[in-house]
Chain A
Amino acid sequence: MPTLESLPHVLPEVALAVTAAALFVLEALWQPRGRARRVGFPLLALGGLLAALLFLVASPSSAEPRFFGGLLTQDPFSTFVRGVAIVATALAVGLALGSPSLPSNRRVEYHGLLVLLALGMCLLSSAGHLLMIYVAIEIVSLTSYLLAGFDDRGGRSAEAGLKYVLFGGVASGVMLFGFSLLFGLFGDLSLSGLGQALAHSTTLSTGAGRWATLLALVFVLAGLGFKIAAVPFHMWCPDVYEGAPTPFTALLSVGPKAAGFAVLLRFGTGLWPELATDAAAATSALPWLLLLGVMSTVTMTVGNLAAIWQDNLKRLLAYSSIAHAGYMLMGVVAGGREGPGAVAVYLAVYLIMNIGAFAVVSAVDRSAHSEDIGVYHGLGRRAPLLALAMAVFLLSLTGLPPTAGFVGKLYLFASLIHHGGFWYVLLAVVGVLNSVVSLYFYARVLRAMFLESAAGEPAPVSLANSAAALAVVLAVPTLALGIFWQPLAAIANFSGSLF
């Protein structure tokens, strides 16, 4: 679809861009003080996000899914992921209200960058063209680098930002090199064009052509793997999560990951269109799926094993989020309609439970000024409601019923099992084994909260802040969706298709 007619379909992105620009311009021109600064700007950001969400829900359906001459591809899956990205950003705005980890004089930039990040994630999840993928990834990455280094209270945040930018730079450099090779091999930049060229090409199955194609694919995987924090492209993740301001870490663990999965899925289905319709016929995509399968196995195993030893809750959740990327990769491997559907369900669940867990960490951090597991001792007695919410999130992250996390995992496993085939079932078994291991470290936190008493006289944990309120609110759907999972089934049905 040409440019002008495409515009009504990207109104959410337009709303986000306008909001971000407004935030930066207002800050520069007006420089408000006091209440206007504390409350007005977050409200403006929230308003922009809400408008984007409304536009998204009301966006007109179109027979032709490709816009701007193929730069953007909109399908139910991308619509869903855009929703996840916007909601996650809104939650991060809420978490940041009154958070001590953000310097008060730079709050406005924080919100501007957040909205910009949301824009990047939206673009990334519907990018159908190598150029668009690159630009969107860079928007997401560049804003993330800055936000990770935002906390100026200690050196940790700046160190996190620096590590993030250096690692991310290398990853995107490698990916870009892969893009350039793909461009050279197929003479096209749009994913659909690449797919057609790949299907008709005969030189790519042997010799140097095969070499180059594989090289390009592996390089591309580096960039995408970096975005979803899959092993071995995950190493930035624990350090950055730990150092970054907690409200932003919460968003970072969900939003960019969701967008990364969208682009990963689109890349697969773009290059091998049969993946989208018939998973069993995906033999031509075998190296790609095999790579992803191995990556999934290694990612969840490394994430879970490394998490066992963590004493810092943010770091523990970072490794846990690595493991969860591994779980979601299972859905990507399963393919067909069911695979993306399962990934979508898991993303929705993960959005709620993971941001919820970070909200608890943020709430505790506000009074205890620490994320160490030690300050969680006896939380069950000091702040029962908060501890209960955390328990729900942790059980959900483990995947125990009756929580939403269980439903999500069930969808992922079922997608592999329904696909059938030895390797697919084996991957499901590995996933199961990993869930079992993960109980080990989540239960450690449960123990600390409910069975151990705090040493000395710990500071009382205040519930009167946005983080605690959000945590308690998010615990409700985490539990409710585990029991009434029709909404999740609807998500799976809706977002199973990619074009």
Chain B
Amino acid sequence: MFRVWAIPLIPLLGFVYIGLLSRRLSRRAAAIVGCSTVALSFLVSLEGALQLLRGEEALTATFYTWASLGDTLVRLDYRLDALSGSMALIVSGVGFLIHLYSVGYMHGDRGFNRYFAFLNLFIFFMLTLVLSDNLLLTFVGWEGVGLCSYLLIGFWYEKSDPPPAAVKAFVVNRIGDFGFLTAMVLLLAQVGTLSISELLQSAPGAFEAWPVGALAVGLLLFLAATGKSAQVPLYVWLPDAMAGPTPVSALIHAATMVTAGVYLMARFRPILELQPQVLEVICAVGAVTALLAALIALAQRDIKRVLAYSTVSQLGYMFMGVAAGGGVAGMFHLTTHAFFKALLFLGAGSVIHAMGGEQDITKMGGLRSKTPITFWTCLVGALALAGLFPTAGFYSKDLILADVLHFGEWGRILFAMGVLTAGLTAFYTARWLMLIFFGEYRSPHHHPHESPAVMTVPLVLLAIFSFGAGWGEHAYAHFVGRVLEPPEGHVPGQVIAWASGAGIVGLLAGFLRYRSLVPGPGPAKGLARVSERKFWVDEIYDALIVRPYQFLSKVIASWVDGGLIDTALVNGSGALVRAAGRIVRPLQNGQIQVYTLAMMVGLVAALGWMLWS
């Protein structure tokens, strides 16, 4: 008897087992439990997918019925259909490979068992997010993956303050959560249910009389997705999140968690479609993100940062693909990207491992002969990222661009942005490859060595998928097409020509430029500097939000010398949330007179307001 809830539950059991016995469990046992539970849940997902292929529309299971809330019944349903099933397969499949890889990568780390416990917990939450048929349960997963991300980004920090990267990720994701929760509140208020399958059925009718509501729900859901999936303007956290262990970057910040937003959009397509503007906004934001992040990736020196910005950029592609056309293209790119980006991150991890912790690509070089397996697998991944025939990236990228070309009035402009991004992507990919694997070995110390088999085997497997997954395009489109609208016909020749042309030109330019050239140690010059400094977005945020706030506070303070406003505002520098927290504090200065005065002011304000209104 098939049980959908077994898929997320098995990794949870793994987490509980490793977590509870953490200190008594040997590393070997923790690794075996961690990997095997994820493998098992992959097998169960596979069995479920096979059942779907045999003709079932969806497999559902009510895990538990919470009590009723007024007229609303809160049931924890798991539902496996073609869309969620394909996601579950990616999460558990790629998750398993990364677990395996981690056994080698984290070898010798003090927190080995703790790491595997968190990783399993993450898989549980991610599968819950994907498979849930109840918005509340989805939110549990949504929050859970965020929590795990927060925990794992800060994994290597044991200092008193949480690392700024973890805090940034945390705050930005709260903005996204706000969108999610508010959308949930609106849906509950208007449609009266939280069950996703019911919502998708009855939302069009329920919002017929209230189009603004549909617009708001769509945009709020997209806000949630922008936070989780690192889109403009909320992408700033993802590159900083690379502070965590590299397999974590591969799993959470490339293959699975960050794609949750894309999945959310695909899942809620029927609601987004109610107001076509929403799809246009999503597509445009995706295009802008793709282009901007690709530009920033051009001049990054950190091996993982290049990949991080590349992920942001590719996520932009996915949003374009999910919004334009029927949505299958975006989901297919999500799948292929999970393979090749996980591969590249794990490859990067292997390089870092070989270099003894060095992450600056300008200090590497010539690793081709020293770490051959890593090199060849990374080459496959890079070609897939660049979208070169016949790798998987070629197929999925072309599918998206074909959809975008015919999308709305702005289709051609968005298409052009996509093609330009493709060229830039190929360029920075070539740069990344050349600086790491070609030329002279530039690091003065250390003798690089190839990683152990437990790390290279996942690399090879992922390379095979990155290479060949594209050939399953039609099968995938047919499968997921049961839920989303399948794409029509073939990709037109001109799209292939443009995209592949841009890719080849970019690759060639990159190979030629970085064949012998290595960026010097100082800051870059000219346009490269713009890219290296990440378009000064962090600085712009600082200048637009933080500085004016500080300026304003100083002006006010110079008027009102000392006292309340002085301490409240001048000290209130830093991030906006924290500043807001500080404004409240100085009143609480320990003086009872101030307390009673505040009470009186409150009374008078309330009274004045009521009389005035």
Which residue numbers of A lie inside 8 Å of B, CB to CB? 162-163, 166-167, 170-171, 174, 211, 214-215, 218-219, 221-222, 231-233, 235-236, 238-239, 287, 290-291, 294, 302, 305-309, 338, 374, 377, 400-402, 407, 410-411, 413-414, 417-418, 420, 425, 428-429, 432-433, 435-437, 439-440, 443-444, 447, 450-453, 455, 483, 485-486, 488-489
Contacts and interface: CB of A to CB of B under 8 A. Distances in A.
Contacts of A486: 67
A489 B72 CA distance: 13
Interface string B575-603: 00110111111011010101110110111
Given A302-B584, A444-B162, A239 B189 contact: no
A444 B171 CA distance: 12
B503 to A, nearest CB: 41
Contact of A425 (B136, B162, B181, B189): B189
Contact of A219 (B577, B585, B603): B603
5 contacts: A163-B592, A308-B578, A308-B581, A401-B136, A440-B174
Contacts of A233: 599, 602
Given A219-B603, A238-B588, A309-B585, A437 B595 contact: no
B170 A410 contact: no
Contacts of B494: none
Given A231-B602, A451-B154, A402 B140 contact: yes
B178 A236 contact: no
Contacts of B70: 338, 414, 418
A221 B606 contact: yes
A433 B178 contact: yes
A425 B185 contact: yes
Contacts of B185: 413, 417, 425, 428-429, 432
A437 B181 CA distance: 12
Kindly list the 6 A-B residue pairs having the minimum CB-CB distance in the complex, ordered from nearest.
A232-B602, A235-B595, A308-B581, A432-B181, A306-B584, A489-B67
Interface string B137-161: 0011001000100110011011110
Contact of A291 (B585, B595, B606): B606
Given A407-B66, A436-B177, 15 more contacts: A211-B611, A232-B598, A233-B602, A236-B595, A305-B581, A305-B583, A308-B578, A411-B69, A414-B69, A417-B188, A437-B174, A440-B170, A443-B147, A451-B162, A452-B159
B24 to A, nearest CB: 12
A410 B74 CA distance: 11
B599 A232 contact: yes
Given A170-B596, A410-B69, A308 B577 contact: yes
Contacts of A433: 178, 181-182
A436 B588 contact: no
Contacts of A290: 610
Given A214-B611, A235-B587, A402-B140, A436 B606 contact: no
Contacts of B139: 401
Interface residues of B, number: 57
Point out which of B72, B580, B595 has the most chain A C-beta atoms below 10 A from its C-beta. B595
Given A235-B598, A413-B185, A437-B577, A443 B603 contact: no
Given A170-B596, A214-B611, A232-B602, A443 B170 contact: yes
B528 interface: no
Contact of A443 (B150, B580, B590, B602): B150
Contact of B599 (A170, A307, A432, A452): A170
Contact of B607 (A218, A238, A305, A411): A218
Nearest to A430: B182
Contacts of A167: 592, 595-596, 599
A309 B189 contact: no
B461 interface: no
A439 B174 contact: yes
A452 B160 contact: yes
Contacts of A489: 67-68
Contacts of B143: 400
Nearest to B186: A425
Contacts of B610: 214, 218, 287, 290-291
Nearest to B184: A432
Contacts of B595: 163, 167, 235-236
A388 B489 CA distance: 56
A308 B578 CA distance: 7
B410 interface: no
Interface in B181-232: 181-182, 185-186, 188-189
B268 to A, nearest CB: 19
Given A231-B602, A400-B143, A214 B607 contact: yes
Contacts of B162: 444, 447, 451
B585 A374 contact: no
Contacts of B147: 443
A116 B64 CA distance: 44
B66 to A, nearest CB: 6
A432 B155 CA distance: 29
Nearest to B74: A410
A293 B203 CA distance: 30
Point out which of B67, B606, B611 has the most chain A C-beta atoms below 10 A from its C-beta. B606
Point out which of A231, A413, A436 has the most chain B C-beta atoms below 10 A from its C-beta. A436
A203 B319 CA distance: 62
B154 A432 contact: no
A429 to B, nearest CB: 5
B584 A485 contact: no
A163 B588 CA distance: 12
A458 B159 CA distance: 16
B171 A440 contact: yes
A211 B610 CA distance: 9
A215 B158 CA distance: 55
Point out which of A211, A433, A450 has the most chain B C-beta atoms below 10 A from its C-beta. A433
Interface string B523-542: 00000000000000000000
Contacts of B74: 410
A485 B66 contact: yes
A239 B67 contact: no
Contacts of A232: 598-599, 601-603
B174 A436 contact: yes
Contacts of A291: 606, 610
Contacts of B577: 305, 308, 437, 440
B65 to A, nearest CB: 10
Nearest to A407: B66
A104 to B, nearest CB: 30
Nearest to A419: B189
Contacts of B69: 410-411, 414
Contacts of A338: 70
Contacts of B64: 483
A235 B611 CA distance: 26
Nearest to A287: B610
Contacts of B171: 440
A233 B595 CA distance: 8
Point out which of B174, B585, B592, B601 has the most chain A C-beta atoms below 10 A from its C-beta. B592
A455 B159 CA distance: 9
A316 B185 CA distance: 28
Given A308-B577, A417-B188, A218 B603 contact: yes
A53 B157 CA distance: 50
Contacts of B580: 305
Given A222-B599, A485-B66, A436 B170 contact: no
A319 B599 CA distance: 17
Contacts of B598: 232, 235
B311 to A, nearest CB: 25
Interface in B550-591: 577-578, 580-585, 587-588, 590
Contacts of B154: 447, 451
Contacts of B182: 429, 432-433
Contacts of B585: 306, 309
A174 B592 CA distance: 16
A307 to B, nearest CB: 8
Interface string B47-78: 00000000000000000101111101010000
